[in-house]
Structure 1
Amino acid sequence: MESEALLSVRDLRIAFAGVEAVRGLSFDVRPREVLALVGESGAGKSLTARALLGMVPEDATTSGTVTLLGDTDLAAQRGLHIALVPQDALSALSPVHPVGDQLAAAVRSVARVSRKEARARAVAALDRVGIPDAARKARAYPHEYSGGMRQRAVIAMATVNEPDVLVADEPTTALDEERRDQVLRVLGEQREALGAALVLVTHDMDVVRDHADRVLVMYAGRLTELGPADAVLGRPRAPYTAGLLASLPEHDAPRRRRLPALPGTPPAPGTLPPGCAFAPRCPLAADLCHREEPEPQEVEGHLVACHHWAELPHPAVDLFQEKQHASS
């Protein structure tokens, strides 16, 4: 892991009632990069993202370290050096206060400035994300904004204090393709303008392909694969990554082509099988996989947690396509 890291996570573990939902996760976020966290529902992506901001639920037990700019006091840095772009823009904004007042309050929570200065920064932030007539719209309430404008407003709130790291938790969920692209464009423009890093939680591999520099694939609370996005998507080394990619439609493929699907479902925390958690669903699983959980190892620039990565064919998605064909 590079010493140039802006944010470092080491052996992060998050448990509820003694059951671990995030299990020994370690990774770095580098300056200005886009790191995507990918995996099926229940993989621990959103919980990990919240841990980066010191926002783990009160009933959780945590261990390991998260260090931002050399400091482990995440609560003190939240809103100033690291900020969240939440999934649900409507619930993220208070319905009883004008949008501009909410952004101004975010400014004054971390900076000793006058109300007038905080207001000016709020209007400027709304203007930067493309909200027309920002001074007037700053006086409006969230219900007076369109859905797309609310999405822009929460990006403005996250960026108003010019943080070093943005954490976007599924920011495009339930959006149509056009609005998804608009939100990602605005988010990318703000990240570039600030020179900030972005941790992007998503289940959309097309978003990863188009926007991420590196990708961390999670399964059952652990790292499965981590590496440059083009390398991981172009030649995955973990069977789980290959299975995710195999289930994506190809843009030039016939519409009637049956997409392969990962067999089974991810295990719930507390119901993990012995050995590799993915073994019951993996076409390459052997006796070793059912006995010993693989540790991440460096493989051609990737980190891969798999006993049999060397046996994965290229292209790896063929393994799942062939299995689907054989079972049909």
Structure 2
Amino acid sequence: MTGRPVLLSVRDLCVEFPAVAAVRGVSFDVREGEVLALVGESGAGKSLTARTLLGMAPHTARVTGSVRLRDRELLGAPRSPYAGLRGRHIALVPQDALGVLSPAHTVGDQLAAAVRSVRGLDRRRARAAAVAALDRVGIPDADRRAKAYPHEYSGGMRQRAVIAMAMINEPELVVADEPTTALDPAVQEQVLGVLASLREATGAAMVLVTHDLSVVAAHADRVLVLYAGRPVESGPVERVLTRPRAPYTAGLLASLPPDEPVTDRRLPAIGGAPPSPAELAHLTGCAFAPRCPLAAGHERCRTREPEPVAVGEAGHLVSCHRWQDTPDVPTLARDLRRERGAA
């Protein structure tokens, strides 16, 4: 992947609301055909970052930084730079299909409208493209199902339909915002498999927002871990998930249910809770310090926010003053269980 051209370049992206800093200095690149996963707890800024890439930040937000799609700057243009980009070059797969699909129109009509708006096909050809798109995502009897309304689809079928809508014009970049959150595990894997197959067939890159690290391991090339709106670790999936250097990343991995039966049935968990966005405006040190097992007695963790540093090679970055002391995941899992037992 490292030899491929950069498709999307994000630098120092900040999204602020009155008295609230929600995304703080996020930077990353996505190369052609690459899958970058954004992970972190609820409120980490994953979805807001992803939707800002599409020009979909709330109108009350103040957005600064740089978002470039190839050579085109998307932030700060006098007219919306997304006109002509959405659908053709950038597409969204949301977590709530019912929020995208209109209940008043058939699924086939909505897919046909999506392809006509970009390609300018006549009604007959657009209809044929819609049926073919439903067939590609595994909707059985696609010609008949194209005439059905969204409420006549199951949850998994609706999610396949919005994937078909996102991919029907073969965009260069797909932003998938927790696309399988509301589905059971078996259907989740089927839907993610459909999305992966279509992406590979078209060569599209993807920004995948998820809280599920098993999905990251199976479907992503690189991962960016966010905490309190700021990156704490990033790099190739195999490096970050097998040897995390940020205590927060290690804590997320340590909190996963074990693969093997254990005598201690207490599930490990990171203690405490993330700071609220309003608290971040007054932050002076590392946002994770109040929950971090390494921060106790270290004034620097509480007074200075860490900057990213390179760890080895392959673009592995970590933002932590004490990254060299981060325990391995099994040790941290044991310690977290002990803390839960003492609580």
TM-score (norm 2): 0.91
Partner of residue 271, structure 2: 263
Q: CA deviation at 1:115?
A: 1.8
Equivalent pairs counted in the alignment come to 327
- What is residue 78 of structure 2 aligned with on the other side? none
Q: Secondary structure at the match of 1:6?
A: strand
AA paired with 1:276?
Answer: C
1:223 and 1:2 mapped to 2: Cα distance?
24
Structure 2 residue corresponding to 1:322, chosen from 325, 331, 335: 335
Cα drift, residue 321 of structure 1: 2.5
Letter in 2 for 1:254: V
1:317 positional shift: 4.5
Aligned pair 1:303/2:317, yes or no?
A: yes
Q: Which runs of 5+ in 2 are unaligned?
A: 75-80
Partner SS, residue 151 of structure 1: helix
Question: What is the CA deviation profile of residues 83-112 of structure 1, one whole-angstrom value per residue up to 9, with x for unaligned ones?
Answer: 000101122210000101101111122222
Conserved in 2, the CA contact under 8 Å of 1:52 and 1:74? Answer: no
Give me the whole-angstrom Cα distance separating, in 1, the residues matched to 2:96 and 2:263: 32
Residue equivalent to 1:284: 294
Q: Distance in 2 between matches of 1:193 and 1:222?
A: 33
TM superposition shift of 1:69? 2.4
Equivalent position SS for 1:36: strand
Q: Which residue in 2 is equivalent to 1:161?
A: 169
Give the structure 2 partner of residue 98 of structure 1: 106
**Maintained 8 Å contact 1:214/1:227:** yes
- Unmatched 5+ stretches in structure 1: none
In structure 1, the residue corresponding to 2:239 is in which secondary structure? helix
What is the CA–CA distance in structure 2 between the aligned matches of 1:318 and 1:259, rounded to whole Å? Answer: 14
2:184 to 164, 176, 182: 176
What is the rounded CA distance, in whole Å, between the counterparts of 1:108 and 1:69 in structure 2?
25
Aligned to 1:14: 15
1:262-314 Cα deviation digits (max 9, x unpaired):
1100001121342000000001112101010001111113111001101113x
SS of equivalent to 1:168: strand
> What is the Cα deviation at residue 155 of structure 1?
0.5
The one-letter amino acid of 1:309's match is W
Hey, what does 1:31 align to over in structure 2? 32
Pairs within 5 Å for 1:178-197: 178-197=186-205
Shift of 1:74: 3.3
Inter-partner Cα distance in structure 1 for 2:53 and 2:3: 18
- Partner Cα distance (1:318, 1:6) in 2: 39
Indicate how the Cα distance of structure 1 residues 18 and 108 shifts in structure 2: closer, same or farther if over 3 A, else same: farther
2:66 aligned partner: 65
The reply to whether residue 240 of structure 1 matches residue 248 of structure 2 is yes
Pairwise mapping of residues 45-60 of structure 1 onto structure 2 (< 5 A)? 45-60=46-61
Q: Return the letter of the residue paired with 2:251.
A: G
User: What is the CA distance between 1:245 and its match in structure 2?
Assistant: 0.5
Question: Match of 1:96, as an amino acid?
Answer: A
User: Helix, strand or coil: the match of 2:260?
Assistant: coil
2:278 aligned counterpart, secondary structure: coil
Structure 2 counterpart of 1:87: 95
Indicate if the aligned counterparts of 1:86 and 1:171 stay in contact, CA closer than 8 A.
Answer: yes
Shift of 1:254: 2.6
**Match 1:205 to one of 213, 228, 242:** 213
Contact 1:223/1:305 (8 A) holds in 2: yes
Is 1:226 the counterpart of 2:234? The answer is yes
